[in-house]
Amino acid sequence: MCPIHLRVDRRRRRGFAAIMAITLIILVGAALVALSAGVVGEVKKTRADAVDAQLRELLIAGATAAAARDAGSAPNGKPVSVQLPADIAGEAGALTFTPMKDGDKLHVVIEAGFARRRASQTLTFAREGERWKVVDARID
């Protein structure tokens, strides 16, 4: 081969190699974007699961507080606030229960808030001797 043909072949090979290198860089970049989007999604899901778990715990604490404070003796239809630990209250934590008497039954609506999310449940109590006993619970 003559020297002119060698120069043309080298230029073609360098152009192909440059195109392949750019293509590989684009593919790696796209894979990194997809991977980081997946990681961010998992972090958000984990945080939401933690907040949901805290809300469920607050609802349980509200049911316990309603039973311990004898919700039947609380003013009908007036919300009662439950004191929360400082770390929970610091993250916009709130817990209230509202008793509503209905004949021989007592309905107590428990509302919990934490990290800008809310959950509530309604407990139905029935009189059993001197005490109120939970006969129904519904998540609202």
**How confident is the model over 90-118, as pLDDT tens digits?**
888 999 999 998 888 889 999 999 998 99
Query: Which pTM was predicted?
Result: 0.72
Query: For residue 20, what are the CA distances in angstroms to 10, 13, 14, 27, 29?
Result: 15, 11, 10, 10, 14
Task: For residues 74 and 115, give the distance between their C-alpha atoms in angstroms, rounded to a whole number.
Answer: 28
Does pLDDT of 127 surpass 90? no
Q: What is the β-pairing status of strands 94-102 and 80-81? A: antiparallel
Find the domain containing 12 and state its range: 3-139
Residue 21 C-beta-side C-alpha neighbours within 13 Å:
6
What's the domain count of the chain?
1
pLDDT in tens, 13-67: 667 888 899 999 999 999 999 999 999 999 999 999 999 999 999 999 999 888 8
Alpha carbons 2 and 60: distance in angstroms, whole number? 88
